[in-house]
Structure 1
Amino acid sequence: MTLGPDPRPPFDSQARPPFDRQALEEAFSVLPDLDLELLPEAASTNQVAAERARAGADEGLVVVADHQTAGRGRLDRTWETPPGTAVTFSMLLRPSVPPATWPWLPLLTGHTVAKALRAEGYDAHVKWPNDVLVEERKVAGILVERVDTPDGAAAVVGVGVNVGLTEDELPVPTATSLAIEAGGSDGVPSRDSVLLDVVAAIREGYDTWQVGGEGAAARLAASYAESCATIGQQVRVDLPTGEAIVGRATAIDPDGRLVVETGSGAQRVGAGDVVHVRPAT
Structure 2
Amino acid sequence: MRHQRLVTCGSTNDEVRRAFFEGAAFPLLISAEQQTEGRGREGRPWAQLEGNFAGSFLVEATRALLSHPGAVSLLAGLAVRDALVACSADSQDLTLKWPNDVLKSEQKVAGILAEMVEDSTRRAFIIGIGVNLRKAPEATAFPAAAAFDADPPDPESFGKRLGETLLRWISLAEAQGAPHIFAAWRSHAWRLGEPLAVRTSGEPIEGIFEDIDGHGRMILRLPTGEHRIIAAGDAARR
Fold conserved between structures, TM > 0.5 = yes
- Report if the CA contact (8 A) 1:111-1:130 is conserved: no
Structure 1 residue 171 displacement after superposition: 5.2
Q: What is the match of residue 153 of structure 2?
A: 189
Residues paired across the two proteins, number: 232
SS at match of 2:191: coil
Q: What is the match of residue 217 of structure 2?
A: 257
Superposed CA deviations along residues 185-236 of structure 1, whole A, max 9, x for unmatched, are x4333323322222211111012212x1xx4322211110010113122111
Q: Match for 1:224 among 178, 185, 192?
A: 185
SS at match of 1:41: strand
Distance 1:171 1:61, change over 3 A: farther
Q: Match for 2:77 among 104, 110, 124?
A: 110
Q: What is the match of residue 121 of structure 1?
A: 89
After TM superposition, the structure 1 = structure 2 runs for residues 1-281 of structure 1, keeping only pairs within 5 Å, are 34-82=1-49, 84-97=50-63, 99-119=66-86, 120-122=88-90, 123-165=93-135, 169-170=137-138, 172=140, 174-179=143-148, 182=149, 186-210=150-174, 212=175, 215-240=176-201, 242-264=202-224, 265-271=226-232, 274=233, 276-280=234-238
TM-score (norm 2): 0.90
2:63 maps to amino acid: V
Please give the root-mean-square deviation of Cα atoms over the aligned residues, in Å: 1.8
Deviates more, 1:40-49 or 1:262-271: 262-271
- Report if the CA contact (8 A) 2:89-2:147 is conserved: no
- Report if the CA contact (8 A) 2:74-2:182 is conserved: no
Higher CA-based Rg:
1
Query: Where does structure 1 differ by over 3 angstroms across 4 or more consecutive aligned residues?
Result: none
Q: Tell me how far apart the structure 1 counterparts of residues 4 and 156 of structure 2 sit (CA, whole Å).
A: 14
SS at match of 2:35: coil
Distance 1:69 1:86, change over 3 A: same
Q: Tell me how far apart the structure 2 counterparts of residues 151 and 137 of structure 1 sit (CA, whole Å).
A: 41
- Report if the CA contact (8 A) 2:6-2:32 is conserved: yes
- Report if the CA contact (8 A) 1:257-1:270 is conserved: yes
> 1 or 2 for the larger relative contact order (CA 8 Å, sep ≥6)?
2
Structure 2: runs of 5+ lacking an equivalent: none
Q: Tell me how far apart the structure 2 counterparts of residues 262 and 72 of structure 1 sit (CA, whole Å).
A: 32
